[in-house]
Amino acid sequence: MAVGAAPAPVPPDYSPAKLDLRSKASGCHVAGPLPDHACTPGAIFATTSVDTICTQGYTKTVRNVSTTLKKRVYQEYGIAYPQPTGSYEADHLVPLELGGSNDIANLFPEAASPQPGFKEKDLVENYLHQQVCNGDLPLPRAQEKIATDWVTVYNSLSPDEITQLKAQYTSWANKN
């Protein structure tokens, strides 16, 4: 390479997401805002594409978590079900909007507090969805980021980005 020449751009990595397999089904514990990785490593619908997830209304067509499955998730984590409204939610680690599946390997009881909690994770989900649909991030890399450590993604967002995301998704923003 010539002195002062820019390195060749690295092409985006579109290889399939590398998510671990579920290896534990009891004695699960949350680690702050993160699930027990052995119980909830994340799981995706293998055939989901960017075109699919970026289609308005997609998540309504695939959301299917029964009360029985929610109870099982809470039981595995040693948390009573149901919890008071607004304190926990049975959450998809890899959200449906990023091709996450309804498999138990992708579900965990996520608390609202302490922060960051499920409301902050919603911002990360929306942020990564925008990145994927804008073509700025390959879908498999977004799936890996949120499954591995969504808190790191949240902490990388600037205050302005958080404010913009809250303004775009006001379902709960005014409650904070």
Check if the beta carbon of residue 112 is closer than 8 Å to that of residue 71: no
Task: Evaluate if residue 11 carries a pLDDT over 80.
Answer: yes
Q: Round the average pLDDT of the chain to a whole number and report it.
A: 93
What's the pTM? 0.91
If one compares 154 and 12, the residue with the highest pLDDT of the two is 154
Gap between the Cα atoms of 41 and 142, Å rounded: 14
Give pLDDT, residue 154: 97
CA angle, 20 as apex, 115 and 79 as ends, to 5°? 45
Q: Given this model, what pLDDT does residue 1 score?
A: 55
